[in-house]
Structure 1
Amino acid sequence: MKDHVTYPATLLRSLALLALGKTGADIERLIRDIRRKARRSGCSITWDDLEAGLRAGQAPMSADLRKRAAIHEAGHALVYTLTGIAEVQSASIALHGVGLVKTVPNAHLPETEAWLMNNIASLLSGRVAEILVFHEPIAGAGGADESDLARATAMALAAETSLGFSKEQPLRYRSIAMGMHELTVDRELADRVNRRLECAETMAHDLIQAHRPALDEIASGLESVGILSGDEVRRIVRGSVGDSEKGEP
């Protein structure tokens, strides 16, 4: 019987990180190619073969961009955890600049206005963390309809037009398409949506500022290893919360 081989967690993490964004079919095809090359060379498949295959076509990030990506994703992971709006499954940054915080919504929470604002704050928290650390954000939080800024704006707009949370005519329902149209022509609606976004941004800022050591520790882990589990993120946040409580008079 062959001895069971246990691989170091850092090596397993590096492969998991490199595989981000790939489908099961992609991985299966990659393994077939690696096996074919190994048979031709008469060698066994090595860890380096797997890593090289996964790295193919990926341009590594610069040190500055890697640090920024780590801070951005750490901001998301921290605020999602502190608000309890969703449970973090993992936080990661990949070699080609893609960052991701995988979460599962806490479905037991009532979908109140406070719940909505916590969601918006969590979406904006990556950008907020960048501003706190670097004093300016990069464009990564926006630029697409599925971006952080787009999703946050859509939520703030829904609060004012379709969810009944507006201080102005809360019973008047408008569809998403109608609300988006009104957002471009109704200055008062645009101002109300923007105020919600600014309020959520302040919420995220205050939470991150109060738990800055946790932000730095999560970001440091992402920068050095590339991926943290949800349990590791929660351990860091619990330590930060415990330390802040000890410091209270």
Structure 2
Amino acid sequence: MANSDISIDTAQVMNVKLKTLALAVAGRTGADIERLIREARQKARRERRPLSYDDIETALTAGQAAMPPDLVWRIAIHECGHALAYELSGIADVQTVSIGFGNGGFVESRRKEGIIENEAWLDQFLTCILAGRAAEKLVFGDTVMGSGGNELSDLARATKLATDAEAACGFGKTEPLLYRSVQDQPSILSIDRQLAQQVHARLEAAEHRATELLSRNRVALLALATRLAQAKVLDGSEVKALLSAEATAAAENPDNITP
């Protein structure tokens, strides 16, 4: 019986460790992971010892540990804004939320199956994309450059989606049946000022919805961000459990004033 208990305990420990490593690599590319493991192996060889679990964990989380607390808190607020919007809008399930490995973060989500991808869905998706920026403005009063600046940024993704809505998906306010490929005309927003105004109006509406959603759920946002800042990585079940607990607390204390 004792041996069986030991085996179970060992398996549980291994599961926890494997889960920790799996969460630690959320948002990283295969090349990033390969490079970090290679560097950890080289370090172990120089010290004339085998590669250990601690070596791998340290290699994968070193970038997190190096960030100052105020940056960690800022990233936590931003990423939890995304996570909260995805969960509360019901369009996607959050898989992982993580503090990044330099100066950013990452939310991995999975779209709900069977959702009708109409204009309302597209606008909800835009709301989720801009919820990180909205969370920063709500808590700090400003945003950092990370919301934009490159083709993979929140602003770039949101602008692309909003432009598709107006110019290619049939949801435009003007000439909705006219298909205009953004890929074929990368400067379409510079050329067509009316289209640019319509795209920006759609983005403004999405950011406004995100701000309203997060304002109503400010306590949950701060609680989730606090947990993420401490743990650096959360999986979807932890996010759901925390939001459920906050919802229950709010229902039990309806007169509680949001800070």
Q: TM-score range by the shorter chain?
A: 0.7 to 0.9
Describe the shift of the 1:243–1:57 C-alpha distance in structure 2 as closer, same or farther (beyond 3 A).
closer
Which residue of the partner structure matches residue 78 of structure 1? 84
Please give the alpha-carbon distance, in whole angstroms, between the structure 1 residues aligned to 2:152 and 2:60: 26
Letter of the 1:124 counterpart: L
Q: CA RMSD in A?
A: 3.0
Q: What displacement does 1:60 show?
A: 1.2
Q: Which runs of no fewer than 5 residues in structure 2 stay unpaired?
A: none
**Other-structure match for 1:218:** 224
Q: 2:157 aligned with 1:148, yes or no?
A: no
Of 135, 141, 145, the match for 1:129: 135
Please give the alpha-carbon distance, in whole angstroms, between the structure 2 residues aligned to 1:222 and 1:12.
19
Matched, 1:161 2:170: no
2:224 maps to amino acid: I
1:192 aligns with 2:193: no
For residues 91-147 of structure 1, what are the alpha-carbon distances to aligned partners after superposition, in whole Å with 9 as ceiling and x for unaligned? 010342231100111131101111000110100000110011110000111111111
Indicate conservation of the 8 Å contact 1:17/1:94, yes or no.
no
Among 223, 226, 242, the residue aligned to 1:236: 242
Inter-CA distance 58–166: structure 2 relative to 1 (3 Å threshold): closer
Task: Name which of structure 1's ranges 2-11 and 74-83 shifts more when overlaid on structure 2.
Answer: 2-11
CA contact (8 A) 1:61 1:97 kept: yes
Cα deviation code 1:127-177 (max 9, x no counterpart) = 110011110000111111111100101111111111111121111111123
Q: Relative contact order, CA 8 A, sep 6+: which one is greater?
A: 1
Contact 1:34 1:50 in 2 (8 A): no
Say whether 1:107 aligns with 2:116: no
Matched residues, number: 245
Q: How far did residue 53 of structure 1 move?
A: 3.8
* Alpha-carbon distance in structure 2 between the residues aligned to 1:182 and 1:19: 37
- Contact map agreement 2:90 2:112 (CA 8 A) in 1: yes
Deviates more, 1:69-78 or 1:103-112: 103-112
Shift of 1:46: 5.1
Question: What is the TM-score with the length of structure 2 in the denominator?
Answer: 0.82
Where structure 1 has 5 or more consecutive residues not aligned to the other structure, the ranges are: none
Taking only the aligned residue pairs, the percentage that are identical comes to: 39
TM-score (norm 1): 0.85
- Evaluate the alpha carbon distance shift between residue 111 and residue 8 of structure 1 in structure 2; reply closer, same or farther with a 3 A threshold: same
